Amino acid sequence: MDFNSNKDCISVNAITFQSNAEHSFDCDITLPEYMPDIVRILRCSAVAGVQSHQINGDRITAECECLVKVLYICNEGKIRCFDQTLHFAKQIELNNTDTVTDINVVAKTDYVNYRVSGERKLQVHGAITVSAKADGKKKCEYINSASGAGVTSRCDTEEICDLVSVVHKSFPVSETVETGPLAEPIGAIISQSAIATIDELKVISNKIFLKGDMIVRTAFTGQSTCQVQTLENIISINQIIECPDIHDNCSVDARLSVACLEVRGRFDSAGDKNLLDISATLGFSAFCYATRQITCIKDAYSTKYESQVKKNVVYMPALEEKIDDTFLCRGSADLGTSGVSKVLCFACQDTSSTFAVVPDGVVIRGEVIADIIYENDAGEISFAQRQIPFEYKRPLQSENGVMSCKPHCTATASSYVLSDNNKLDIRIEIAVCGFVFSEKEKSVITEIGIDKSKIKAIKTASLTVYFAECNESLWNIAEKYNTTVEAIMRENHLTGNTTEKKCKLLIPKV
């Protein structure tokens, strides 16, 4: 009988491409005539983002923007703001286009410096890193069945979680919203931030149907008094994402991020600036998994011919739990000055996090960066940036070995109380999501070689008596005497794969 073997594979996530490109920028800012002179700079910031990207041959071209915003105090002691948007394109070389499909491209400001050269001028210099990463499927092959040529095999069954598809897409969202009744028309936008959340996700015919919200928080000054006011607007998201190979039984780890955000006030039909034009580029990432049970051969030999096996260690991930929680982070910010009278603007910006396994569960640690504009008793306005650390512990139901997770944390809401000692007691609501996997490495057979020109020389009798020890493996005995486990079990009326006690076994010839 001819020898036949069947192969299967496990797909896991692998980074197929990763590269960075640096971009430095310089801009000379001269205030327009209608804006007052600079007395003191509160803050000069530069927020970078990727509007779109495309693959052209062996390179990625990313269309980026950088919003340079200058907050300053004028000679009237009021807060003023001037911003300028810089557009640039950055190219990143691809080293292997065959393995690259969807690419996640992001931009982040490394630093920004400024120098005031007059009452109305300043030079701004900074650096931006544009990062490109492609996730792909790494296929780990193994033999799941073999027959013929006298081959006997020892198999294991495992429940594993296959990576079915990875998708990175970006899409625009824009809307003009009414601000409602305001004390005065909008003068200048001094702070803008947004988060994107997923409310519903459905999988139908290689597509992901996405519903969610983009929550935009805007701080602005009034046109005449320059008093700071804040607004929160919610924009609905409805999007269809093409996702090849995905099916209804997949578990999807999906994230939304805001890659670019622009908020502009404009005049309505009455001539007042009571409208906000909001436009953003959202990044969508999805890792789609399917759980199934597999059979793999961990050992094999032929009772008729000389044979060789090749083994490899295969990574077998299993989906254990899905984290979708909300917790409250408490912290404080010492403003370090005396006589703080009120907070004009409090905005949560970047959130970073790490994942660690502890004996009784998992710990997610990170920090939220908060921007604070405040005023003292003398009416002087200042700016401060503080890091608010957080820690979230969560028990795990599973105890299946080493765990891995890439949590995604978002600051969804915040509140604060100003105490008498010039400290802010801060509460931040943080949403955390992600999949928790158990990591198991298993040695499996990837190749079985049968040499039919070398027939095994059988030296054993048709029936051999063997004195076995307690808990001895029938597989080891069968391999030693060139027979099969099934034949030993049948001859000795055994039901298990090991001996329960010291005994005498009859070893049949096959």
Mean pLDDT value across residues 259-271: 83
Question: For residue 460, which of 407, 393, 508 has the smallest C-alpha distance?
Answer: 508
Q: Which helix (H) or strand (E) holds 489?
A: helix 485-492
For residues 355 and 439, what is the distance between their CA atoms, to the nearest angstrom?
A: 15
Q: How far is CA 253 from CA 132, 134, 436, in A?
A: 20, 16, 10
**Which distant-in-sequence residues (6+ apart) come within 8 Å of 358 by Cβ?**
393
pTM of the model: 0.87
- In this structure, are residues 238 and 172 in contact, taking their beta carbons and an 8 Å threshold? no
Residue partners of 342: CB distance under 8 A and separation at least 6: 374, 375, 418
The neighbour count for residue 302, using CB atoms within 10 Å, is: 26
Strand 40-56's sheet: what is its strand order? Answer: 40-56, 59-73, 79-93
Domain ranges of the chain: 12-135+164-289+320-440, 458-508
Q: What is the pLDDT of residues 362-376, one digit of tens each?
A: 899 999 999 999 998
The answer on pLDDT for 193 being more than 90 is: yes
Tell me what pLDDT residue 343 has: 92
pLDDT of residue 233: 94
| 218-232, 409-423, 453-467: the lowest-pLDDT one | 453-467
427 and 243 in contact (C-beta within 8 Å)?
no
Architecture of domain 458-508: Roll (3.10)
Predicted confidence at residue 96, as pLDDT, reads 67
Check if the beta carbon of residue 485 is closer than 8 Å to that of residue 459. no
Q: In 361-422, which ranges are E strands?
A: 361-376, 381-394, 402-405, 408-418
Average pLDDT over residues 398-424: 84
pLDDT above 70: percentage of residues in the chain: 96
Q: What is the mean pLDDT of the chain?
A: 90
Whether 147 has a pLDDT exceeding 70, the answer reads yes
pLDDT for position 386? 94
How many residues in total does the chain contain? 510
